[in-house]
Structure 1
C-alpha cells in the first residue's frame, strides 16, 4: 500500500520514511513514531492501517543519525540488545527536530489536508508527548511512553489535544512514574490519560509477547476518535 520516501532534515541531509495514503487519495496527516526497533513491519503495518482509516500516514526513520534503515524485531536477544543500544544513543532533541521536519513534509504531501497528528509507541510514546510540547502538531496519541514522568515540566506548552495510553503493569514505566504522570497531567485541559488495567508494555504491538487484542482495539479506537475530531 505504501512507499519509501525521503524527508529533508532541518540541519542538512535527509532521512527515509514510509508513506501510505488512503484509497481516496486524500485525508488528514498522521506521523507514526517508531518504537526502538526502527521502521519495521509492525510500524509499516500501523501506517497502512491508518491509511485504510482515511489518513495520509508517514513513519519517519528517526534512527538515521545513528544507523539508517533499522528494521529489527522483538524476537531475539540480539535484536533487543541492538534496540537498546540505539535507544541509548538516540538524541531526543535532534529526534524532535526530525519529527517537526516530518510534520512539515507531510503537510506538503499531495492529498494531505494540512492537519497533522502524531501517534507513537514506547520511545515513540514519549516523542508523541514531546510533539505536543515542541512542535506544531494538531493532536497526539501516545502509547506506553517511557520517561514522560521526567519531562512533565514541558506540559505547560501543550495547547492541543493529547491522549496517553498507560499500561498499569508496564515493565518499563513503574507505578511511581505512572503516579507522577497522573499527578502532573490529569488536571491539564488538553490531556487525557487512559489506564489499561493489568496490561504490560507494548500491549498494542501485534505479535508481541504482551499483545492484548481487547486493550489494543480500545486504544486504537480512542486514537481514531481523537484524530477524526481534532484533524477534521
Structure 2
C-alpha cells in the first residue's frame, strides 16, 4: 500500500509550487527518489511512476518544473497539448529549474520518512535534467531515461562524481548515435557509470500510453534501475566504494 498527496515546496527565491508524493506503507525511513517529468508535467504517467517507486520501497516526489510559467500542467501526448508542451520546454529557465529540483531534494532530506539518501531519475526532458542535477545538486545518484540535451552540456560530465545510469533508445532522434558516443567517451572508465542501449526502441519507450511504449524494454530498464539504486543508495548498498 502507498500513500499519495500533493505538497507545497518553496525554492530559495521564494517561489512556491506543488509536488506529487508517494510513500510506502510503514513508518521506517526509506531512500528517496526525485522524479523529473517529461514535457507533459505531472500527468497520469508521472503519478503512476511515483506509486511504482513507492511500491518498490522508495519515497518518491515529482516536482512541478513548469510552475514558474504555468501551474498545474498536465498534458496529453498529441495535438495541441504536445505543441503546448514544446512551448513550455523551450521557455524553461534551467537555472531556476535546478533551484526547484533542489527544493524537492531538500524536502526529502528534511522528511521523517527519509534516510537522507536521495537519487534523481528523469524521463526525456527530466532525463537531461537528472544529468544536470548530478553535477549541480546534493544527490547520491542519478538515472537518465533517454535524456534530452545531455550531449549539449557534455562538459558537465567531468565534474560529476556520483553514480549515473543512462538508458538509451537506439532510434532516439533526440539522442542519436553520434550523441551517444559523445556521452560514452565523456564517461569512459568511470566505474560508477552504467549505460544501456535498447535495440529497436524509440524515444520514450518506457512511457505508458505512448505509441513508442515497449513493455519488454520497459521491464528490462526497470530491473536495471532497481539494481542500480540498490547498489548506490547507501541504506540498501552492498557495494564498497
Asked whether 1:72 is paired with 2:69, we answer: no
8 Å CA contact retained: 2:158, 2:186:
no
Tell me how far apart the structure 2 counterparts of residues 39 and 224 of structure 1 sit (CA, whole Å): 22
**Matching residue of 2:213:** 211
1:158 aligns with 2:160: yes
Counterpart position of 2:239: none
Indicate the RMSD between aligned Cα atoms, in angstroms: 1.1
Aligned to 1:148: 150
Which of 183, 186, 189 is equivalent to 2:185? 183
Structure 1: which 5+ runs fail to align?
A: none
Partner of 2:175: 173
Superposed, 1:6-45 pairs within 5 Å as 6-25=8-27, 26-45=29-48
Instruction: Identify the residue that residue 109 of structure 2 maps to in structure 1.
Output: 107
Normalised by the length of structure 1, the TM-score is: 0.96
- Superimposed CA distance per residue, residues 22-77 of structure 1 (whole angstroms, 9 cap, x where no aligned partner): 01243101100000000111001000100000001000000011101101111x31
- Normalised to the residue count of structure 2, the TM-score between the two structures is 0.93
Shift of 1:172: 1.9
Q: 1:24 touches 1:54 (CA, 8 Å); kept in 2?
A: no
Please say if residues 186 and 193 of structure 1, whose CA atoms lie closer than 8 Å, have aligned partners that are also in contact.
no
- Alignment deviations for residues 177-216 of structure 1 (CA, whole Å, 9 cap, x no partner): 1221122223333322111111100000011111111111
Q: How far apart are the structure 2 equivalents of 1:146 and 1:221?
A: 22
* 1:174 Cα deviation after fit: 2.1
Equivalents in 1 of 2:152, 2:189: separation in Å? 18
* Partner residue of 1:120 out of 110, 122, 133: 122
Q: How many angstroms does 1:13 deviate by? A: 2.6
Instruction: Tell me which residue corresponds to 2:238.
Output: none
Q: Which residue matches 2:64?
A: 61
Residue 131 of structure 2: aligned partner: 129
**Secondary structure in 2 matching 1:156:** helix
Q: How far apart are the structure 1 equivalents of 2:171 and 2:156? A: 25
